[in-house]
């Protein structure tokens, strides 16, 4: 009981309250809000970002950053369009695109883990590089002649009316949750993010660990880029442009420390739900996209300030000793 109370006082507890409040408000504003189709729709519009946010949680807890995820999504989507247009079978192209994700992640990882450059600089460089490559492949024209089954995968229900991408999200969340919160790999992720020296001195191969995380980040981003291509049914050079900022925003809002070492996947999930529901709710009452973005920005500032304010002191004031 006491443990449950303590948990509610955590950042996750605060996010949960905020989420319930937002859902309650939205449901009052519009009767359609709670309908199954609206709930699926709300996920579907940002599904690629929230999938990448899951793996970004690992990157940031590890005290690194990956700015190249948006560009990798774009590169994977554009490479897909380019190769399919060139006549390669789509199934093979998907495998190649995932391979590109692994290679791109390994490139980041090599510079960061083996050479020892800061991830901020390395992934800023690959953000530009991957995007440049994507634009070279498809130039200015859009490509939209994909196989029918591929479009269907992105635009129709996979089982019932639930789309494939949402399944992928749920499965990925469960798998990554077990890895981060229950496995030795997850424990190492936290220790390395807290203090890499301590991890090194305890015999943990911190370089290999970072390499694995950046490869996973590249792979999942490439996968998300393919989902985007399937959902929209077309690709252009600017696919997923600037997505990295939305993704990082969600993760930080979820309570993951930008300095590494703390945060949970549940926090990220709650932040995802809050952002999606908030945007949806604001859309229901005709608040424009720019203002929506501004509100999300304010939320982020709040999430960075909040841990510096001792909420427990505020709440415990009545019973506390005044000395």
Which positions touch another protein (CB under 8 A)?
178, 182-188, 190-191, 194-195, 197-205, 261-262, 320-321, 323
Q: How far is the CB of 200 from another protein (least distance, A)?
A: 6
Q: How far is the CB of 184 from another protein (least distance, A)?
A: 5
Residue 6: exposure state from Cβ atoms within 10 A (0-12, 13-18, ≥19): exposed
Q: How far is the CB of 187 from another protein (least distance, A)?
A: 6
For 198-229, give one letter per residue: b (16+ CB within 10 A) or e: ebeeeebebbebbbbbbbbbbbbbbbbbbbbb
Q: How far is the CB of 237 from another protein (least distance, A)?
A: 40
DSSP 158: E
Q: How far is the CB of 263 from another protein (least distance, A)?
A: 12
Nearer to another protein, 107 or 176 (CB): 176
Other Cβ atoms within 10 Å of 112 Cβ, number: 24
Nearer to another protein, 101 or 255 (CB): 255
Nearer to another protein, 293 or 312 (CB): 312
Cβ(72)–Cβ(219) under 8 Å? no
Nearer to another protein, 17 or 202 (CB): 202
Q: How far is the CB of 111 from another protein (least distance, A)?
A: 20
The 3-state DSSP class for residue 32 equals coil
Q: How far is the CB of 120 from another protein (least distance, A)?
A: 22
Other Cβ atoms within 10 Å of 3 Cβ, number: 7
Three-state SS letters, 73-124:
HHHHHHHHHHHHHCCCCHHHHHHHHHHHHHHHHHHHHHHHHHHCCCHHHHHH
Cβ(43)–Cβ(169) under 8 Å? yes
Q: For residues 240 and 224, what is the distance between their CA atoms, to the nearest angstrom?
A: 10
């Amino acid at each position: 009981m006491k443990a449950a109370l303590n948990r509610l006082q955590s950042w996750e507890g605060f996010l949960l309250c905020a989420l319930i409040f937002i859902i309650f408000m939205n449901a009052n504003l519009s009767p359609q809000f709670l309908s199954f189709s609206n709930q699926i729709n709300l996920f579907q519009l940002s599904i690629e970002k929230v999938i990448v946010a899951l793996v970004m949680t690992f990157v940031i807890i590890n005290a690194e950053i990956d700015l190249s995820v948006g560009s990798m999504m774009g590169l994977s989507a554009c490479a897909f369009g380019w190769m399919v247009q060139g006549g390669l079978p789509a199934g093979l192209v998907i495998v190649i695109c995932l391979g590109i994700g692994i290679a791109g992640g390994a490139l980041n990882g090599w510079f960061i883990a083996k050479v020892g450059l800061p991830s901020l600089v390395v992934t800023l460089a690959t953000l530009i590089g991957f995007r440049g490559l994507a634009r070279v492949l498809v130039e200015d024209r859009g490509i939209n002649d994909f196989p029918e089954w591929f479009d269907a995968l992105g635009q129709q229900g996979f089982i019932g009316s639930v789309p494939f991408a949402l399944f992928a999200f749920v499965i990925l969340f469960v798998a990554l949750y077990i890895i981060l919160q229950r496995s030795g790999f997850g424990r190492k992720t936290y220790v390395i993010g807290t203090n890499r020296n301590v991890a090194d001195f305890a015999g943990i191969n911190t370089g290999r660990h970072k390499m694995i995380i950046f490869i996973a980040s590249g792979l999942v981003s490439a996968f998300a880029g393919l989902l985007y291509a399937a959902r929209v049914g077309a690709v252009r050079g600017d696919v997923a442009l600037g997505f990295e900022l939305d993704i990082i925003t969600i993760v930080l809002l979820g309570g993951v420390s930008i300095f590494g070492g703390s945060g949970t996947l549940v926090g990220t999930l709650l932040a995802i739900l809050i952002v999606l529901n908030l945007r949806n709710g604001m859309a229901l009452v005709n608040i424009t996209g720019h203002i929506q973005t501004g509100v999300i920005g304010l939320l982020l500032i709040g999430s960075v300030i909040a841990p510096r304010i001792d909420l427990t002191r505020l709440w415990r004031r009545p019973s506390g000793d005044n000395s």
